[in-house]
Amino acid sequence: MAARKITPLDPADNGPASIQGIAQRARRETLWASPAEVATYAQGQPDGVIACRERGRHDYPATRLTLADPDAPPFTEVTPEGWYVRRLPCECCRHVNDDGTPGLPRVVRVEEWELKHRRGVILSAQMVRARPVPLDSDYLNPPGQGRIKPRLVRDATVTAKVAGMRIKDIRDQVRTLTEAREDAAREAYARAHLARAEQDAAELNRGLSVIDGGNAS
């Protein structure tokens, strides 16, 4: 059988895609929120949510700290596959009660662990997978608007701060700060130069004292 001719419209068969290639293609095909949508989202969010969005990750408690209480069980659930579950709340974006104490979490990290044991005695624990699970719909961008890029959150935050200001005012502020830094650097240099001169003078005086003492003997 004659080999089929490949035209420019035919996809090239380069074998199975690599893991990196699959991830890159998935990222290209991801629906991302527009700058205007992110700006609207950021306006109504508290500081903790903006911090997590800007970092692109959550602030979960350290594993050792979550296991510090000797009376608290290390796992709370078991999956149908037999993995043991831990749930860790993000401490940064969680709700804050009216009295300032931490409230309910907005996002938890769900960890699934495999416990290896022999004759009923646990030998080791290994995390199989972990994923963030939002508990509040207000943490997520409205449906249909796509995922939020951390850079756009930063853009929206700074834009909200400077929008409406005069560029001359910004330049004047920067000039004032620059002059203050330069003045502080000159003062620090003068102090260091004076201290060095005093140290040199003290060493010279000690040397002269030694010479005078030798001559006197």
| Distances from the Cα of 40 to the Cα of 5, 17, 145, 152, 192, angstroms | 52, 38, 11, 11, 51
Half-sphere exposure of 199 (CA within 13 A, CB side): 6
Mean pLDDT in residue range 40-45: 91
Indicate the average pLDDT of the chain: 85
Q: Are strands 84-89 and 107-118 parallel, antiparallel or unpaired?
A: antiparallel
pTM listed for this prediction: 0.67
The better pLDDT of the pair 145, 56 is held by: 56
For residues 108 and 85, is the Cβ–Cβ distance under 8 A? no
Confidence of residue 17 (pLDDT cuts 50, 70, 90): low
Name the maximum alpha-carbon separation found in the chain: 116
Q: Distance between CA 146 and CA 32 in Å, rounded?
A: 4
Q: Which residues contact 178 (CB under 8 A, 6 or more apart)?
A: none
Q: What is the pLDDT of residues 74-127, one digit of tens each?
A: 999 999 999 999 999 999 999 999 998 989 999 999 999 999 999 999 999 999
pLDDT given at position 13? 47
Write phi, then psi, for 141 (nearest 5 degrees): -70, 150
